[in-house]
Amino acid sequence: MSIQIDRKIGKDDLIVIAGAGGFIGGSLARYFHNLGYTRIRAVDRKPLPEWYQRVPGVESISADLSEKENAVRAVEGAAEVYNLAADMGGMGFIERFRVECLRSILVNTHLIEAAYRAGVQRYFFSSSACAYNTDLQKDPNVRALKESDAYPAMAERGYGWEKLVSEMFCQEYWHERGLETHIARFHNIYGPNGTWFGGREKAPAAICRKVIEAKDTGNLKIEIWGDGAQTRSFCFIDDCVLGVDMIMHTDALIATPINLGTSELISITDLVTMVEEIGGVKLERSHNLDAPKGVAGRNSDNTFIKQVLGWEPSTPLRDGMAKTYAWIEQQYADRKAGKRVVQD
């Protein structure tokens, strides 16, 4: 399907991507570069050699955007700003480091104010399904979450509240000051170039790595966090960047949070089976019931996105996981061979 997007900016207008040293920000920089945008400024607090992707021709700056002066410099001359910067990770990280997650509020607070003062045309904020009321997510057979389910608020401790409050900043900068803002609530984005080890990785990458490791070492076992009955939907990175582009350039979505995820619900147990099939191996399973596992179930209700955009993320999980597995397998082999991989 070829999708027409009226971006309202020229190919030489400056696009600023915060958090571009990470998974989604880096993929977004590559996406706009491939579309022919000639002036992209990528910013991340990590030193440049640690960025997951460096796109040739893209201006890459290492700067901590929780510092006001850096935020001001980062958005200078920008037509559009995409905020993908946050101190975050999978459940293992966000349940343990709530203060770090909350402190990401500094990034959005400085960046949106700087963007407003610099007169940028459009500002994007990457929110999360963790902003939803956790009381609605206690059952693995969860009702899919629709946008209005964020209120009354009972977001995920730490990370989810930061997202909810930052969303509110975006909404009020539009209503009170006229800065055009767009907000997507991502539901578990996965794919090549994401975090796959080190403690911040999420379930899809962690499971791929564990299966690859088991095959490589011959220790044919896998530890699963929780009882495996917890359910989620997972959205492939290509759908995510296309969705961000569409959401950013749709007037009906100004200051209006919208789900960006698939509605293909799967349990962690079934996800493990899927990855075993991709890897062509069967492992002995054990369950770590003390490990962080997040809410019991979470799915994306895509009624709104289908209505507004006539589109929803559509990459089948099996296809996206096969690509992710292949990428991690290569990373694993490179690392084992002593080559430096992006996250070392």
Distance separating alpha carbons of residues 259 and 343, to the nearest angstrom: 29
DSSP category for residue 227: S
Beta carbon of residue 322, minimum distance to ligand NAD (angstroms, whole number): 19
> Which two three-digit tokens encode residue 234?
């997972």
Q: Which of 31, 52, 82, 159 is catalytic?
A: 159
| Residue placing its CB nearer to ligand NAD in the complex, 216 or 319 | 319
Residues in the chain: 344
Distance separating alpha carbons of residues 167 and 65, to the nearest angstrom: 18
- Residues forming contacts to ligand NAD in the complex (CB under 6 A) are 19, 21-25, 44-46, 64-66, 84-88, 107, 126, 128, 186, 188-189, 195, 202
| Residue placing its CB nearer to ligand NAD in the complex, 195 or 230 | 195
CA angle 64, 68, 28 (to 5 degrees): 50
Active-site residue, 190 included: no
Beta carbon of residue 65, minimum distance to ligand NAD (angstroms, whole number): 4
Beta carbon of residue 218, minimum distance to ligand NAD (angstroms, whole number): 31
| Residue placing its CB nearer to ligand NAD in the complex, 55 or 214 | 55
φ/ψ of 327, rounded to 5, equals: -65, -45
| Residue placing its CB nearer to ligand NAD in the complex, 100 or 172 | 100
| Residue placing its CB nearer to ligand NAD in the complex, 81 or 88 | 88
| Residue placing its CB nearer to ligand NAD in the complex, 189 or 208 | 189
> Which two three-digit tokens encode residue 205?
């990458």
Distance separating alpha carbons of residues 314 and 163, to the nearest angstrom: 25
| Closest residue to bound ligand NAD by CB | 22
Beta carbon of residue 286, minimum distance to ligand NAD (angstroms, whole number): 26
Distance separating alpha carbons of residues 325 and 320, to the nearest angstrom: 9
Beta carbon of residue 215, minimum distance to ligand NAD (angstroms, whole number): 25
Beta carbon of residue 266, minimum distance to ligand NAD (angstroms, whole number): 15
Beta strands 284-288 and 231-233, pairing class: unpaired
Three-state secondary-structure class, residue 6: coil
Question: What residue has token string 């400056």?
Answer: 14
99: CB partners within 8 A, 6+ apart: 158
Distance separating alpha carbons of residues 250 and 188, to the nearest angstrom: 23
Alpha carbon 236 to its chain's center? 10
| Residue placing its CB nearer to ligand NAD in the complex, 188 or 332 | 188
Picking from 172, 214, 205, the residue whose alpha carbon sits closest to that of residue 321 is: 205
308: CB partners within 8 A, 6+ apart: 250, 252, 253, 258
153: CB partners within 8 A, 6+ apart: 133, 161, 164
Beta carbon of residue 107, minimum distance to ligand NAD (angstroms, whole number): 5
So which residues are the catalytic ones?
Answer: 159
